[in-house]
Structure 1
């Protein structure tokens, strides 16, 4: 397979561009691609560009070829509203959600979230998760980078999104996704933390008109539930 790389900046139409240091290091030093190797570059603004690697000493360039107007975005726009999870679970969720076609990821602080992030720590983690999303796009073929939205408390997020189609994953939910009608627009998929949603949060969701959804009779972990639901949504109304 030809290696794919995200180019941070607008790609011109033809000519040659210098590869950013991190990209050049990964291509030449890590993957050991030789001079003249074929590449695919995308800048996140749609489409992708065939290119040829040019190595000159310690610098690397890309000789640009034809732009291909290829899009691999799902017709169903799903925003994954994921309560913060511990360890590397959030990395896993972001990576796999991007592969499954999510439009955006909204990290939220829930009442029972063990992980607490604010200020500089939160900003650094968001930058890290955005890079996880970029790497996932490089791997899976997407040419647009899903947005990692700024972290906020879940009830603050809810106050601004009451009118949306909001599916809340919760054990004991009333119906499964198979019983839901096709959504009229974007879907928000709310996934709780390891300890689950609090009773107060569930009451707020109900009051806002959110739809409680159950994924079968088994209790799924936070890093499993959202991804399973994403796959179901794609199979029902997306591009599966």
Structure 2
């Protein structure tokens, strides 16, 4: 059954014109009046719905029963990452949403290949958020992870609250000697903020700034993973095992 994100107040019996993106999706699927679909608005659970009317560009649905079902990971994992270049970031956002990421923070690091600012950064943010929405529609999530605006890594670190009062575990993917295996550094429960660098990794001063903000260096093993692979490997280990 098709699942569509509909960011609007929903209630039983409501007749609703779907937002443009969701309406296009229904038209592409060639649904007809009487066909069933599922809606979710990100506020919890999902709603059964029925197509009532198909216009040239508008689709009207009737909202039916609410189902209080959630498919979120038991542990909230917030990824902060140096943006990989080209389509790799799209792929990373899609797979992170499927794996249950709680939020995504793109960062501009010293060694970043992808450089974004101004209107281009805003367009990329909107595009990546749409990628996350589509992934949630496909995988069954009812809550869409926020895709924050790209920021300078050092500025983002300076703006973080003190580690002592943050109520989270902060982990930094690092190749430095003595970095603990990920499994040994993660507590049994509680949110995690995971920082991973771009192609080429973090510069020494960036890594030191992260350590000063309470990030603990961790390793994913003997192999060096790509910038788009490493955060997903960590995310899978943290969400699928929790």
Distance 1:109 1:9 in 2: 33
**Once the 2 structures are TM-superposed, how far is the Cα of residue 27 of structure 1 from its aligned partner?**
0.8
2:203 pairs with 1:198: yes
Distance 1:56 1:229 in 2: 44
> What TM-score comes out, normalization by structure 1 length?
0.92
Unaligned runs of 5+ in 1: none
Q: Which residue of 2 aligns with 1:169?
A: 173
The verdict on how the C-alpha distance between 1:56 and 1:217 changes in structure 2, with shifts beyond 3 A counting, is: closer
The structure 1 residue matched to 2:231, chosen from 220, 226, 230, is 226
Q: Which residue of 2 aligns with 1:45?
A: 43
Distance 1:56 1:135 in 2: 22
Q: Which residue of 2 aligns with 1:144?
A: 143
Q: Secondary structure at the match of 1:188?
A: strand
What pairs up with 1:74-85 in 2 under 5 angstroms? 74-85=73-84
Q: Which residue of 2 aligns with 1:60?
A: 59
**Once the 2 structures are TM-superposed, how far is the Cα of residue 190 of structure 1 from its aligned partner?**
0.7
> What TM-score comes out, normalization by structure 2 length?
0.91
Unaligned runs of 5+ in 2: none
Cα pair 2:11 2:64 within 8 Å, conserved: no
Q: Which residue of 1 aligns with 2:126?
A: 127
Cα pair 1:165 1:183 within 8 Å, conserved: no
Cα pair 1:52 1:64 within 8 Å, conserved: yes
Give the aligned CA root-mean-square deviation in angstroms. Answer: 1.6
2:90 pairs with 1:91: yes
Cα pair 1:166 1:189 within 8 Å, conserved: yes
Distance 1:145 1:26 in 2: 18
How many residues align structurally? 235
Cα pair 1:53 1:60 within 8 Å, conserved: yes
Distance 1:105 1:200 in 2: 23
2:117 pairs with 1:113: no
2:223 pairs with 1:213: no
Distance 2:24 2:210 in 1: 47
* C-alpha distance after superposition, 1:158-178 (max 9, x if no partner): 123341421111224511112
The verdict on how the C-alpha distance between 1:124 and 1:138 changes in structure 2, with shifts beyond 3 A counting, is: same
The verdict on how the C-alpha distance between 1:232 and 1:205 changes in structure 2, with shifts beyond 3 A counting, is: same
Distance 2:21 2:207 in 1: 44
